[in-house]
Amino acid sequence: MTNKIKVYRAMRNMTQEELANKVDVTRQTIIAIEKNKYVPSLGLAFKIARIFGETIENIFHYEK
């Protein structure tokens, strides 16, 4: 699973801390997701997508 969170964050001038606070997780979790070390739950993925006003598919990509 890969994602474009870093890109969308940069486009909105948002820090990892700000995004973490908006989706109720720790900054470490955002770092881990951005580095593709942790796959978020569906609920968290939806929350992140909504913060950026995008669909989940635009932000997260499933690779076999």
Residue 43 or residue 53: which is nearer to another protein going by CB? 43
CB nearer another protein, residue 23 or residue 59:
23
Task: Tell me if 2 sits within 8 A of 36, measured CB to CB.
Answer: yes
Q: Which residues bind another protein (CB under 8 A)?
A: 20-21, 24-29, 32, 38, 40-41, 44
Rounded Cα distance, 8 and 33, in Å: 13
How far apart CA 50 and CA 37 sit, in angstroms, is 22
CB of 39 to another protein, least distance (A): 10
Residue placing its CB nearer to another protein in the complex, 13 or 41: 41
Q: What is the DSSP code (8-state) at residue 25?
A: S
